[in-house]
Structures are given as structure tokens and as C-alpha cells.
């Protein structure tokens, strides 16, 4: 995996200095910029091929050397950003590379990059230079047009149809803009081992009637306004997880299925979950952030949490709401393995933040190492033990400073989510 990352980043750096290569791609992508407050959200549209690496070059009018980029997808890619101000202009370059050589960074025709914060007054361009890499590191480099919404290629009147990006399947609508009375086709395709759980099309507070046409195809009649179409998929009864290291009958098979199905935890590769791998502090915070719906946040006030890291919004949200604290040296230590007492504290504070009952307490005196629980985590461990989230590692030990494996984290999170 490291070789793949290094190859992609090296290739992107190489293409920075090379002239545009002839297009080996079937489509002509375009860039959409949407301003919301101090943020500029970036989306690449019109993708018809799988993308494994990206370099986006923007020239902003004005000096904003502190421009920062925050990635949209937490587990899809490795992001980086560079901003250089000179001569009244700022050159912003955003890089992205796939986490593995198996999974592309885009899902279908659209790739949500994240948002750019210029930090000072700058004028956005109307053109950008885009380099895309396929799995074999072949490049497509083009100067692309920039639009302010997703209607750049739509000439008629009509209303936009919004879709979500479900886990474990794909959702497509045709057309993406439609006039009142027009028939819109929705196509859902579950991943192997999954089935459609729910499909809705809503106009304001009203659910629209969906007609099942068979084969995963549905239709509805367009009303006189924008429509939201959302789909969700679930593990088919008897369906197997894609992980070869979590076979049916594995001690936490159901719990891994629960967190994977809901997008709370992903695999470490297309066919591996790594149940004995360690779980970091940032991973748990990112999971809680997803459970909360990934709300918009400011920046994290920790010296070791860069704004460009996938977990930065999650840490900022958790810190702002009293769910996590840092260390006395001003760090958060996002890549440190999370201890059992730290996980208990995170879950305890999140449950309290959600207004769930956290009054139950277990008597931990039977555990010989209970005195070793850190002061900040005593109440949390007593609650977590009473709630069945954190049990003893033996009849007489609780191992508060021990770390949690990915399998153990899946079990704890499943119990927590089901009772939240």
C-alpha cells in the first residue's frame, strides 16, 4: 500500500512539470465551486472512469498564502495541499492519492474533494488545470472550466435532483435536472452480498411515489421543485462480508457486519478488516463524527492536527463539544493507539452530549487493577462496564490502559450504537 501511495504522489509531482498528456479518458471532467460562508466546496463532475490520483491547480487573484484545504472523504484518499502567493496571485495545488491500489477515490461520475478556506480576500478563477491518474498511472491533464453549480451542461428549465452517496451500493438518477411532470428514473445497484434497505424521493416534507420497474429501476414524476433521492443498503441475510479475515462464524462477525454496513468502520483493504490491528484515537473520533452526521465545524486547536487531515473536522467537532480533550503539551496524538479507558471516556461524553442516560455505575472494586484507572476516566469506566460496553479482560482485571483492537472496537461500537 505504501508503494502505491508513493507511486501516485511521485507521479503527481512528475506531472506538475510535464506538458498535458493526450487524454486516455472517455469523459471531459469539469470543476464545480460552491461558496458557503468562508468555505469554497470543490467537486469534480463528469467522471466516467476510475480515478486513483488527482492534482488540481487553481490560481486565485489576491494574496492568501494561508489557504487551507479539508478533504471530504475520511477514508477514500490521502490529501495534501500547497499554497504559494506571489505577485498578487496565489497558486493553490491540491493532491489526492488512493489509499490502496484496489479502490479508486471517486464513486461514480462525481468526486467530492472537500472545501478550501482562502483565509483572506481572493477572487476565484474561471479555469483550472486538472490531472487525473488511472490505476496504471496513465494521466489525463486538461484545463477545465469552472461552474458555480451543477447545471453547467443543462440548457432548459427544470429543477435539480439531489442524491446521497450510500455505502455498499450505487444510486443514479436520470436526468439530474427535470421539468415538472417529467419522468425521472432512479437506478439502485447493491454491492455483492447487499440488498436495498430503503429508497426515498422527497419534495420538501412530502414523499413522492416511486414505481418499481424491476431490475433495480424505479421512476417518479417530477414536481415543481427540487427533489432529494436517498438510498441505503444492508447486508443481505446470509450474505457474507467481503473480508477474508472475518469468515462466517468469527467471534465478532455480526458486530463487524453492523459497523461496516453503516459505514462506521471500513476495511483496511478490499478483502481485509485486520481484526487484530490497533485502533487509534482519531479513528474513534472519526466514527463518532460520522454517527453525528459529519456537521460543519471550525478548525481543531491542537498542534498536531493539520487542517488537511481526514480526521481534522472530527477532532474539531469532538473538542468543541467536550467529547475529547488533548494533552497538556497542546497535542491530540491522533495516531496513538486508543486505550480502553480513553474509549470509555469518549463514548461516555458522547452519550452525555446526545442526552442519553449515563447514570448507571458498576462496582469495579472486584478488579485488582481498578485503582489504575486515570481520574478523568473513573466514572466513564464504571458506566461503560455497567452498560456492557467495556468488560473485564479476565475475572479480576479490567486493563484500563490496554489498547483496543479493531475487532474489539467493532464490538464496543455496535453495543454502544444499538443502545444510544
pTM higher than 0.85, yes or no? Answer: no
Establish whether the linkage from the previous residue to 198 is cis, with ω within 30° of 0. no
User: How confident is the prediction for the chain on average, in pLDDT?
Assistant: 84
Question: Which band of pLDDT confidence, cut at 50, 70 and 90, is reported for residue 109?
Answer: low
- Span 266-288, average pLDDT: 93
- Span 81-93, average pLDDT: 90
2.60.40, 3.40.50, 1.10.540, 1.10.287: CATH of 2-147 = 2.60.40
- Span 388-415, average pLDDT: 93
The fold for domain 159-235 equals: Immunoglobulin-like (2.60.40)
Task: Give the separation between CA 296 and CA 254, rounded to whole angstroms.
Answer: 32
**What is the reported pLDDT for 244?**
92
- Span 66-72, average pLDDT: 82
The one-character DSSP state at 389 is: S
Counting residues of the chain whose pLDDT is more than 90, the rounded percentage is: 39
pLDDT at 3 over 50: no
Which residues have CB under 8 Å from 280's CB, separation 6+? 334, 335, 336, 337, 338
Q: Where are the alpha helices (DSSP H) in 354-401?
A: 378-386
**What is the reported pLDDT for 15?**
41
* Short-list 31, 34, 28, CA closest to 47: 28
Written as one string, the DSSP assignment of 33-47 is EEEETTEEEEEEE--
Question: pLDDT of 325-364, one tens digit each?
Answer: 999 999 999 999 999 999 999 999 999 999 888 999 999 9
Task: Give the separation between CA 42 and CA 144, rounded to whole angstroms.
Answer: 13
pLDDT at 404 over 50: yes
- Span 144-152, average pLDDT: 62
- Most confident range, picked from 22-26, 36-40, 264-268, 397-401: 397-401
The grid coordinates listed for 136 are: 496504471
The grid coordinates listed for 164 are: 446521497
Question: Which band of pLDDT confidence, cut at 50, 70 and 90, is reported for residue 11?
Answer: very low
Who has greater pLDDT, 204 or 51? 51
- Most confident range, picked from 41-50, 206-215, 316-325: 316-325
Who has greater pLDDT, 65 or 193? 65
**What is the reported pLDDT for 313?**
93
Same fold, 2-147 and 159-235: yes
**What is the reported pLDDT for 192?**
76
Residue 123: half-sphere exposure toward Cβ, Cα within 13 Å = 7
**What is the reported pLDDT for 13?**
47
Q: Write the burial class of residue 296 (CB in 10 Å: 0-12 exposed, 13-18 middle, 19+ buried).
A: exposed
For the chain, which residues make up each domain, given as ranges?
2-147, 159-235, 253-419
- Span 216-240, average pLDDT: 85
Q: Write the burial class of residue 289 (CB in 10 Å: 0-12 exposed, 13-18 middle, 19+ buried).
A: buried
The SS3 of residue 81 is: strand
pLDDT at 151 over 50: no
Amino acid at each position: 500500500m505504501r508503494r502505491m501511495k508513493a507511486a501516485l504522489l511521485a507521479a503527481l509531482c512528475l506531472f506538475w512539470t510535464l506538458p498535458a498528456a493526450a487524454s486516455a479518458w472517455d469523459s471531459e471532467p469539469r470543476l464545480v465551486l460552491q461558496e458557503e460562508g468562508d468555505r469554497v466546496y470543490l467537486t469534480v463532475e463528469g467522471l466516467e472512469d476510475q480515478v486513483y490520483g488527482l492534482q488540481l491547480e487553481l490560481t486565485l487573484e489576491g494574496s492568501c498564502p494561508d489557504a487551507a484545504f479539508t478533504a471530504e472523504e475520511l477514508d477514500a484518499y490521502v490529501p495534501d495541499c500547497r499554497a504559494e502567493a506571489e505577485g498578487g496571485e496565489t497558486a493553490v495545488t491540491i493532491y489526492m492519492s488512493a489509499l490502496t491500489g484496489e479502490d479508486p477515490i471517486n464513486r461514480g461520475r462525481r468526486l467530492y474533494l472537500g472545501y478550501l478556506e482562502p483565509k483572506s480576500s481572493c477572487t476565484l478563477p474561471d479555469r483550472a488545470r486538472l490531472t487525473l491518474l488511472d490505476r496504471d498511472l496513465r494521466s489525463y491533464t486538461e484545463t477545465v472550466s469552472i461552474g458555480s453549480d451543477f447545471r453547467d451542461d443543462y440548457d432548459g428549465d427544470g429543477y435539480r435532483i439531489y442524491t446521497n452517496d450510500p455505502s455498499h451500493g450505487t444510486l443514479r438518477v436520470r436526468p439530474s435536472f427535470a421539468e415538472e411532470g417529467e419522468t425521472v428514473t432512479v437506478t439502485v445497484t447493491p454491492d455483492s452480498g447487499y440488498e436495498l434497505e430503503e429508497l426515498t424521493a422527497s419534495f420538501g416534507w412530502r414523499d413522492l411515489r416511486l414505481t418499481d420497474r424491476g431490475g433495480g429501476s424505479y421512476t417518479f414524476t417530477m414536481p415543481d421543485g427540487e427533489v432529494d433521492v436517498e438510498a441505503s443498503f444492508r447486508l443481505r441475510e446470509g450474505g457474507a462480508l467481503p473480508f477474508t479475515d472475518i469468515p462466517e462464524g468469527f467471534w465478532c462477525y455480526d458486530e463487524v457486519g453492523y459497523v461496516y454496513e453503516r459505514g462506521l468502520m471500513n476495511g483496511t483493504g478490499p478483502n481485509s478488516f485486520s481484526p487484530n490491528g490497533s485502533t487509534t484515537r482519531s479513528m474513534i473520533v472519526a466514527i463518532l463524527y460520522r454517527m453525528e452526521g459529519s456537521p460543519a465545524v471550525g478548525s481543531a486547536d491542537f498542534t498536531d492536527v493539520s487542517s488537511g487531515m481526514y480526521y481534522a473536522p472530527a477532532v474539531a467537532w469532538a473538542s468543541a463539544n467536550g467529547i475529547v480533550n488533548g494533552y497538556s503539551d497542546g497535542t491530540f496524538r491522533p495516531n496513538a493507539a486508543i486505550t480502553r479507558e480513553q474509549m470509555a471516556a469518549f463514548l461516555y461524553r458522547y452519550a452525555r452530549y446526545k442526552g442519553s442516560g449515563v447514570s448507571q455505575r458498576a462496582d469495579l472494586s472486584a478488579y485488582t487493577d481498578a485503582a489504575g484507572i486515570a481520574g478523568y476516566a473513573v466514572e466513564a469506566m464504571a458506566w461503560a462496564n455497567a452498560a456492557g460496553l467495556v468488560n473485564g479482560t479476565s475475572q479480576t482485571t479490567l486493563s484500563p490502559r490496554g489498547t483496543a483492537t479493531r475487532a474489539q472496537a467493532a464490538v464496543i461500537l455496535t453495543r454502544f450504537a444499538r443502545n444510544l
